[in-house]
Amino acid sequence: MPSMKVEGLDEVYSKLKALADGNAIEAVQKHAVYKGMEQIKQEMEAQIRALPEQEGYVNVKKGQPPRSVITKREKEQLLKHLGISKMEEKNGSVYNSISFDGYTDIKTKKYPNGVPAVLIARSINSGSSVRQKKPFVRQAKAAAQNKATEAAKEAAYDSLNKIMEGS
């Protein structure tokens, strides 16, 4: 009866076992998602820096055109408070988001602890009666989508290769 001898299966088995480890796959997922989110965050920072600036505040009265998009101080505060949120897991998938967190140092009568950064970002993104609309979040997402996908894919491949090599 014919027979065959295969060598090296122990090595292949150990590599597959390392991949089958739930923690390894989870780490690969998280690393890939984070690398993709970094690309989107960088593009959002670039979009914020590109917003047209206005010197000081203008008290816009009814019937007047809305003011320019953002002051230099608001721009600095948005960049300071932009961040990548903590990873969340649901049903075997990893979720993450980029958001504006905390309060700015721009204090007003209504916001004595500082205006929420997300409020400034939303008013710029959607516009208001006193501010021109500039959808920088949508533009950043569209501009960075392919770069983010490629960065996530590359990070996943690199992580998987490291696991397969045993390092």
Q: What is the pLDDT of residues 132-155, one digit of tens each?
A: 888 999 999 999 999 999 999 999
Residue 126 in contact with residue 133, Cβ under 8 Å? Answer: yes
Amino acid occupying residue 61: K
Scored b (16 or more CB within 10 A) or e, 70-97 reads bbeebbebbeebbeeeeeeeeeeebeee
Q: Does residue 139 lie in a domain region? A: yes
pLDDT class of 3 with cuts at 50, 70, 90: very low
What's the average model confidence in pLDDT over 98-127? Answer: 92
Question: Tokens standing for 16?
Answer: 């597959």
Question: Tokens standing for 149?
Answer: 């996908």
pLDDT at 1 over 60: no
Q: Does residue 166 lie in a domain region? A: no
Whole-angstrom distance, CA of residue 114 vs CA of residue 161: 47
Q: Which residue has the higher pLDDT, 127 or 40?
A: 40
Domain count, the chain: 1
Residue span of the structural domain in which 110 resides: 9-161
Q: Does residue 90 lie in a domain region? A: yes
pLDDT at 5: 52
CA 86 from centre of chain: 11
Full-model pTM = 0.78
